[in-house]
Amino acid sequence: MGGTRYIGGEAPGQGRYALAEMVGRGGFATVWRARSVDGKKGYFRGGREVAVKVIPVYSYGERSRALREGQIAEGLKHPNIVETLEVIPGDLEVYLVTEFVRGDPLDVAARHYRMDDVIDSLVQILSALEYAHSRGIIHRDIKPQNALVDGRGRVKLTDFGVAYRAGDTRLTQVGYAVGTPGYIAPEILDGENPTELTDIYAVGATARALLARQPEEPPPRLLEFVNRATSPNPDHRPKGAGAALKLLTGRRDSTGAQKTRVVDKAPNKGGGGGYLGHVLRAVNGIVAGWLGYLVAGLLLNDAASLGVAAGFGVLGYLLPRLGALGVIVALAVALARNGQISFGLAALLPAVGGLWVAAGSVSGGTSRLPLGPLLSIPLAGVGLGAGLPLLFGALMRPLGAVPSAAMGAASLVVYDLAWEDGALPYLGLSLGNLPLGAGPAEFLRQGEALVGAYPSLGLLAVLWAVMAGVVSAAEWVGQWALGLVVAVGGGVLGYALAVSETPAALSEAMTSLGLAAIMYGAIRFLSSRAGG
């Protein structure tokens, strides 16, 4: 620690923060990763990781500018703005201490974005600007490099170094344009004062830069937003960040300057094109490969089965929905040719699968993991089936997690009634097998009769859906630990009071859910620690 540089202290070698490594350099400042080394301030815990922007000052004017940036940023508290914790004036430098955002600039993170992720990032930027504008702050340098994306997909505006605050004396000479070429509104180049519409133009230019990486055509609403936001005539632009949000999202009302919008995609939650999007696709590919292996095992030899499994696995990863439809159709054909189901049921499988895949288009998570409900079958085989709702809650937004979990319960029940001995895990019921040689109508009629006679069959699907929704909602607002506790506690009560018919079944459900909860909690805790 002898070479460690400290700041915020009254003597050399002392201070409240120890600078660890430089993580960024600009034309006028450097940014360091640092740690607090004492707890004198109530909201600092010893060892907390922070970022420190070091601004050299060589004149009174430069010092005033640096302190002004810190004062402006200190007054902004919003989920989509990097929080400034402290401003420390030094003799030759000013230090801005902020939260440390472990992630990438938006231009880097957007390399793997899909269209919905682009729109979501713009919504977050506009939400931050609506809040800042309501406090008289114009950012003046909106661009992808000044928006950081953390590990959960949340976009945070940073660098208010050239921000304009209503009532402040203009610090730049008339005719001198502040900002980055390509993102500066035309009226600024003509010497006019910055306004909210200055930032709106920069958001439009940011959208245009992000869309340059997209292989598909932007939807009409997004295209209209870009064209209007980047209009050379300020009168043609949305009249503020709230109006821009309304134009971009179609909301009847804006978010409101006093409201905060928490966007959490854990990482890129909801199946964004980043890390989590690849996880969802990978899981879908694994399930597709497993089903492909089963299909090939019914029709081909073992050597060919591995090739078919690999092919379906790759297809399930690259084109999840097409892969899901392909493997469902192949499975129906294989089961029918092998005499395990009637041709009527063979036609029912692709029909139900097609409806599910089509419905999944409304949720990014479901569209990338359409085969997810079938995970309940192998997971139940290794004693983790009851934990499927936790998995869906961690990977998907509520819109995808809730129906996927319910479908997972239905898949498990149908599988056990159709191909196993009819003894249902977690329920304690032994109902025998459904008639697989009958037609779809008879199959559905008997299934309906079973649900009517044994309500716990339907209650299992409801319980799984609720648990997945609780976990997903908690992930969404950044309270995963609370969500885990509520979901597991509610799940145990649900099994005990409504689902499990025997003590043995309840014990099996609690063991499965407990193991899954321990695994989820450990992984989530370690990932949150790794992410700072």
Q: Give the residue numbers annotated as catalytic, written as ranges.
A: 141
Q: Cα dihedral sign for 369, 373, 378, 384? A: positive
> Structure tokens of 484?
């885990």
Strand (E) or helix (H) holding 56 = strand 49-56
Q: How far apart are CA 31 and CA 19, in angstroms?
A: 10
- Provide the 3-class DSSP secondary structure of residue 104: strand
Q: With helix as H, strand as E and coil as C, how does 393-433 read?
A: HHHCCHHHHHHHHHHHHHHHHHHHHHCCCCEECCCCEECCC
> Structure tokens of 268?
């890129």
Q: How far apart are CA 505 and CA 501, in angstroms?
A: 7
Beta partners for residue 55, in sequence order: 94
Say if CB 100 and CB 20 are below 8 A apart: no
Q: How far apart are CA 140 and CA 177, in angstroms?
A: 10
Q: How far apart are CA 125 and CA 245, in angstroms?
A: 10
Task: Output DSSP code: residue 217.
Answer: P
Helices (H) and strands (E) in the chain, counts: 19, 13
Q: How far apart are CA 374 and CA 138, in angstroms?
A: 50
Say if CB 205 and CB 122 are below 8 A apart: no
> Structure tokens of 378?
């192998």
Task: Output DSSP code: residue 222.
Answer: H
Written as one letter, the residue type at 417 is L
List Cα–Cα distances, 120 to 113, 129, 207, 360, in angstroms: 10, 14, 11, 19
Beta-carbon count within 10 A of 255 CB: 19
Say if CB 299 and CB 337 are below 8 A apart: yes
Beta-carbon count within 10 A of 319 CB: 15
Q: How far apart are CA 395 and CA 428, in angstroms?
A: 29
> Counting Cβ atoms within 10 Å, is residue 279 exposed (0-12), middle (13-18) or buried (19+)?
middle
Q: Which position has the token pair 């301030």?
A: 41
Say if CB 266 and CB 152 are below 8 A apart: yes
Written as one letter, the residue type at 317 is Y
143 annotated binding-site participant: no
Which among 324, 307, 328 is positioned nearest to 315, based on CA atoms? 324
State the binding site.
Answer: 53
State the binding site for ATP.
Answer: 53
